[in-house]
Amino acid sequence: VYPDWRMNQMFVVERHQRALEYDQAPRRPITTSVHTPDEINDAFYDQTYAKAAAFLRMLKYTTNDTIFQQSLVRYLNQNKYVSVVPDVLFAAFEYTISRYKFDFGQGVTVTDFMKQWTEQAGYPMINVSKVNDEFIVTQERCLMDTPDKITDSSKWYIGITYTTESSKNFENFTVATWCKPDMDKCVLSAPRNNGWFIFNIQSTGFYRVNYDTDNWSLLIRQLKETPNEINVINRAQLIDDSFNLARADKLHYSVPLRISSYLKIEEDVLPWYSVINGYAYLIERMRRNDIEYSDLRVRTIKLLECVSNLAGIIYKKTEDQVVEKKNTDHIILTSWNAFSVWACQLNNEMCIQSAFDYYTKWKNGEKIPSDIRDAAFCVGVHITNDTSTWEQMFDLYKTTRSPSEKQSAQTALACTEDDVLLSRYLNYIFEKENGPIRQQDYRDVFTAVSSTPKGLDVLIDFLVENLNEITKKLIDGDDIAIFIYSTCASKAALDSEIDKLKKLKDDPNTPENLRRAFNKCYNQVNNNLYWYNKYHEVVNQNTGCSREYTTTDEPTKITTQQQTTEIFTQTTTETTVTEHTASSTERSTQSSSEKTTLSQGTDST
C-alpha cells in the first residue's frame, strides 16, 4: 500500500535477523509434536512467527511472485474454516509449480526443501572460500559458543544465490546450485579476478554466511570506500552475520568491529538497525568490566564512548532530515525515534541535550513530535531524577487516551535512577484489576526496568523479596516469576547480580517447579560468563575506534594488503584469525530501489 515505507526491507532487520539471533541457541523446530500445555507454550516461543514468516519469504524468492501468490490463494480457498498441517501448504505449492512447469533444479521439491527447515531445529551457517576458479561451500548448524560445546550434524537444503564484485547483480534470485543434506560440500564456478563475493543475495535465505579472510578484507575495503556498491540489505547482513559469527567463535571479533566503522559514511538507515543489535550484546557483557579504578573499566568506557559517538552520527543525520529538511518519509520518522532512543541510552551528549530540550518544551505545554517522545520522556525523567517529575509522568500514564503516549510514559517511568520509585513502580502490579498497570503490560514494564543497571538490581531484589506474593496473588504468577528471572539472568553481569540469582534458584524454600525453571534460565548466566572470560580481552583490544567514529573524517583509501593487515592484527597469541574464519577449503520495498537515503529528502535510484 505504501511502498515508500520499505516494509520488505525493514522485515529483514526487525524480524528476520532477530529470529536468526534467537534461534542460534537450542530451540524446538517450528513444526513439532506437543502433548502437554507446557509443551504448547514452549513451542510458541517469541520468535516462532518471525521465523515462519522468514521461511515463507525464502520460499517466495526461491520460486517467484506468481507461484507464491497463486499457491497461497489456492491453499486459503481450499482450507478456509478448517485446521491443516504443513503438508497441505506444501501440496498447494507443488500443484502450482507443476502447473507452471517450474523447476527447482537438481531433483529438489518444495516438500523436500521446506520440511527440512520446518521439522528441524535451528538453521545453517555456510562457509564460503574461493580456491582458484571455484567457490567451495560447506554447511553446519549455527550455534552460539557455549561451555557445553553443543555439536549438531543437522544439514538443510540450501538454495545458493550469490554475486561478485565484477557483476554486482543483487536482483538475480535464481538458485545457482543446491547444497543438499547428503553433500559434504558443493562447488560452484568462480571468476578468476580477485574481487569480493557475497552469498545469500538480499538475505533471502534463512542462514548466515562466513567467508575466508581475504574476502572479508575486500568487503570491508568496499564498505569503507563506496558502500553503495553493495546492496543495502546485504550491508545490513554483513554487519549482523559478522557480529553473530564472532559470538559463535567462527570469526574474529576484529571483523565486526572494523565493519561497523564504515557506518560513518552510511546514508541509509537499514544497516544501522543491525549494528544496534550487534553492539547490544557486547555492551551488556562488557559491563562486567565495571570494576572501579581498573584498567578494564577504562577500556569499557572507551567502548561505550566509541559506540555512543557512532550512535550520535545517525541520530544527527535523522534529526537533520526531520527538523531541517522537513522529511516526512515514514522510515525516516520511525528511525529518528529508534536512533534517538539508542543514542540517548548510550549517553550521547548531543542526543541528551536535544531530547531534554524537547522534554522541557513538553513540560511547558508545547506539543512535541511523537517520534522524539520516547527519548524526550526518558531523558527528562532520568536527568531530573526527582519524585515530582516521575509522578507527573505517572499521571500521564494513567490518564492519557493515546496508546502511543501511554507506551512512551510507561517506558520513561523506568528511566529514573531512584530505586524507591522503581520499586514503587513494580509493586503496582499487585493492585491487579484496580491498579494502574494492565496485566498485558506487566512484561513490558519488567523489560523496561531491567534496561538499566540500577533497574536490573531493583528488579532482581523485587523478585527475591516478593516471589511468594507473585506466585500466589497474580494470575499466571509462576509464568511471571519465570519471565522476570529469565530477563534478569540474560542481563546479569556483575557478581552481586549473579549471586542473588544463584541463591534464589538454590533456595530450598523456592518451589520445586520454579527451581527447575530457574536452573534452566541460569544457563544463560553461565553462557554469558563463558563469553566474557573468553572474549572480553579480544574486544578490549579492538575498541580503538574513536578515531574512526567522527563526522569530519574522510574514509582512507587503502590497498587490499594494507586492509588485511589492519583488520586482522591481534595482540594476543591465544587465538589466531584462521581458527575463527572459514579460510579452509572445506519499520521496507525490494532493495533495487534503495530509496529514502538520509542525504536526500526525495526518492532516488
Mean pLDDT of all residues in 563-583: 35
Domain ranges of the chain: 3-121, 268-384, 418-543
Q: Tell me how far apart the alpha carbons of residues 218 and 101 are, in angstroms, rounded to a whole number.
A: 40
Q: Predicted confidence band at 291 (pLDDT cuts at 50, 70, 90)?
A: low
Mean pLDDT of all residues in 558-564: 34
Mean pLDDT for the chain? 88
Q: Is the pLDDT of residue 423 over 90?
A: yes
Q: Is the pLDDT of residue 442 over 80?
A: yes
348-354-359-364 Cα dihedral, nearest 10 degrees: 150
- Ramachandran angles phi, psi of 203, nearest 5°: 50, 40
Q: Is the pLDDT of residue 169 over 70?
A: yes
* Interval 588-599: pLDDT, tens: 333 333 333 333
Using alpha carbons, list the distances in angstroms from residue 595 to 275, 318, 600, 605.
20, 15, 9, 6
The answer to whether 133 touches 164, Cβ cutoff 8 Å, is no
Q: Tell me how far apart the alpha carbons of residues 280 and 270 are, in angstroms, rounded to a whole number.
A: 16
Q: Residue 298: what pLDDT?
A: 64
* Interval 305-348: pLDDT, tens: 899 999 999 999 999 999 999 999 999 999 999 999 999 999 99
Mean pLDDT of all residues in 56-68: 97
CB within 8 Å of 498: residues ≥ 6 apart: 492, 525, 529
Q: Tell me how far apart the alpha carbons of residues 273 and 454 are, in angstroms, rounded to a whole number.
A: 26
* Interval 502-557: pLDDT, tens: 999 999 999 999 999 999 999 999 999 999 999 998 998 887 553 444 333 333 33
Question: What would the DSSP string read from start to end of 186-242?
Answer: EEEE--SS---EEESGGG-SSSEEEE-HHHHHHHHHHHHH-GGGS-HHHHHHHHHHH
Cell of 411: 517506558
What amino acid is encoded at 251 in this protein? Answer: L
Q: Is the pLDDT of residue 566 over 50?
A: no
Looking at per-residue pLDDT, the higher value among 339 and 600 belongs to 339
* Interval 74-124: pLDDT, tens: 999 999 999 999 999 999 999 999 999 999 889 999 999 999 999 999 999
Half-sphere exposure of 231 (CA within 13 A, CB side): 26
Q: Is the pLDDT of residue 586 over 70?
A: no
Pick the CATH number of 3-121 from 1.10.390.10, 3.30.70.260, 3.30.365.10, 1.20.1250.20: 1.10.390.10
Q: Is the pLDDT of residue 39 over 80?
A: no
